[in-house]
Amino acid sequence: MDGKRANRRIRLLVVLFGLIFITLFVFAFRLQVLDGSRYAGLAHNQQQETQTIPAGRGTVFDRTGVELAIGEQTATIYADPQEIREPTAVAVAAHKLLGVDANALYPFLLDKKRQFVYVERFADPLKAAAFLKRGFAGVHSYPEERRSYPQLAIGAQLIGYAGVDNKGLDGLELQYDRKLTGHVGKQTIIRDPSGRAIDVVSSSPARQGSDVFTSIDHTIQAQAEQVLRTTVSQWGARDATAIVLDPSTGEVLAMAQTPGYDANRTSDISQSLLRNRAVTDTYEPGSTFKLVTITAALSEKLVTPKTKFTLPYKLRYDTCVQCTVHDAESRPTETLSVAQILSHSSNVGAVTLAGKLGRARLASWIEKFGFGSATGIDFPGESPGFVLPLDQWSETTIGNVPIGQGISVTPIQMASVYAAVANGGVWIEPHLVTRVGGKTPQRWRHRRIMSPDVDEQVKKMLTGVVADVGATGGAAAIAGYSVAGKTGTAQVPDGHGGYSTYNYEATFVGMVPASKPRLVVLVKVDEPRGSIFGGVVAAPAFALIAKFDLQYLEVAPDALHAVAGTPLTATR
């Protein structure tokens, strides 16, 4: 009986061990064969990790080598909560060494569902090194570049900005983002069980982005912005814009506006302030547009600068009984030459010349000057302006457009047209960048928009706008230099099909020295108070900017007996 019981127990043990063996065999088979590749991959990933090495973003320079946008090297520290062993110690050390809010960080370090938590992004490299020296398990870092703008507010809307991922979001940073952005590198590292890197298996280096060299002169830009701030303050204006162009190359030396902002704090700035209004915003140009009307009449050989017209103060034009135009200031009927129509900024005279041209020829010349089309400047978001198609002209259009109403332009369009006059009648595509890395970005377009003879006539007449007695631009005069330019005063549309009775745009655009223009300067002041006229508000700002630039660039005087501050007897 005892032997049988013993044999039964032995058989039971054998069966039990057999079952255990089979179970272990099945488990081992599943672990090593069925799920082997998955667990091998997990083990491999725990030991081996491929990291991306960020590429440095190229630097943006002004024409003299001053840095406008640079990359600052920082360290970004992160944690893997699944590897963290001392969450309290990590949070406290991050607070003491990095200035991180320990109470905010601590709950994230405890969350084992996460594998990635920022401890501090864009940390100071020295502080980051001190923190990493503590050797906390589960804490890692990688180098990361942060975009910085060392000139702060100077040229902010022009340069634009890059986001936290170092991608260009506006301005030149966006326009040339592909060139500025480098090519990332990679490295594969081996970590020990505590997460520390112990070896680098393979690596490919990152490639730095190309540097961008702009045509902007930091000093000219800063001075123009200062003049605009003073002008806006003096006249209680809403804002102001200025452009400084080299007419012989199309290079923009300054594109300034006020109010501005610190380019390092774009997250705090409204989108309306970030716009570069010289390129994106349109306005009705007023009398600066009379250049087109008069140039067209001269080019079509309908008049010469000496051709005279007897002009009333108010004129009824076309066949429309209600269609009238008058000059800015009341005056008796008088006889004016074409040159005086421009220098006195006569609305009646400009509409009279437009009547001789006719609608079709005037519309053709507006197109030839480039209005209604983008200039192609290398900046994002350029507006083409607005020109009413000829087949949509009403009976009032021929009385509005010749004097710069019912048409919208951008400051860069108007500056580039006056630059064509300064350049012998040849228009050059305006641009902001001269070189990317070691290459010129593209070939800038050229086209002739008036003959050399007409150009000389127009240039001489524009000189009269500043120098002649009774002309509107006397406040733009600069001692020692001849100045050619045009004033503009335009009502601001009210948004309801009419015009505001109190909001105006005051403009002056001109070239210096007039005998051999080196610079074209445009100043536009929006909604000034106290005076509305371009000859009073914008012309003095033009003179301040142009005088500084001429002296800074060491341009020799060409009119030693010229006297600044010619008394104004009329303003328009």
Report which of residues 149 and 87 the model is more confident about. 149
Report which of residues 256 and 139 the model is more confident about. 256
Radius of gyration for the chain, computed over Cα atoms and rounded to the nearest angstrom: 35
pLDDT at 140: 87
pLDDT at 459: 96
- Type of residue numbered 214: T
Report which of residues 22 and 121 the model is more confident about. 121
pLDDT digits (tens, 9 = 90+) for 349-365: 999 999 999 999 999 99
Q: Which of 536, 408, 419 has the alpha carbon at shortest distance from 476?
A: 536
**pLDDT averaged over every residue in the chain:** 87
Per DSSP, 445 falls in state: P
Mean pLDDT of 53-61: 83
User: How far is CA 17 from its chain centroid?
Assistant: 80
The confidence band for 372, taking pLDDT boundaries of 50, 70 and 90, is very high
pLDDT at 493: 87
- Type of residue numbered 4: K
Q: Exposed, middle or buried by CB within 10 Å (0-12, 13-18, 19+), for 105? A: buried
Per DSSP, 236 falls in state: T
Predicted confidence (pLDDT) at residue 497 exceeds the cutoff of 90: no
pLDDT at 195: 55
Predicted confidence (pLDDT) at residue 565 exceeds the cutoff of 70: no
pLDDT at 203: 67
Mean pLDDT of 50-67: 84
Q: How far apart are CA 176 and CA 266, in angstroms?
A: 19
pLDDT at 145: 82
Q: What is the domain class of 218-259+278-438+445-552 according to CATH?
A: alpha beta
Of 267-271, 537-541, 566-570, where does the model show the most confidence? 537-541
Mean pLDDT of 380-385: 96
pLDDT at 566: 40
The confidence band for 495, taking pLDDT boundaries of 50, 70 and 90, is confident
Q: Where are the domains of the chain?
A: 2-41, 50-214, 218-259+278-438+445-552
Return the percentage of the chain with pLDDT > 70, whole number: 86
The confidence band for 317, taking pLDDT boundaries of 50, 70 and 90, is confident
CATH 3.40.50.2300 matches 50-214 = no
Token pair of 448 as six digits: 């002739």
pLDDT digits (tens, 9 = 90+) for 199-218: 565 666 667 889 999 999 99
pLDDT at 142: 80
pLDDT at 561: 47
Beta carbons of 139 and 132 less than 8 angstroms apart? yes
pLDDT at 261: 93
Least confidently predicted of 13-17, 86-90, 104-108, 329-333 = 13-17
Token pair of 199 as six digits: 């070896």
Least confidently predicted of 259-268, 301-310, 518-527 = 259-268
Report which of residues 559 and 387 the model is more confident about. 387
pLDDT digits (tens, 9 = 90+) for 330-345: 889 999 999 999 999 9
The confidence band for 568, taking pLDDT boundaries of 50, 70 and 90, is very low
15 CB contacts (<8 Å, ≥6 apart)?
Answer: none
Q: How far apart are CA 278 and CA 258, in angstroms?
A: 11
The confidence band for 19, taking pLDDT boundaries of 50, 70 and 90, is confident
443 CB contacts (<8 Å, ≥6 apart)?
Answer: none
pLDDT digits (tens, 9 = 90+) for 232-246: 999 999 999 999 999
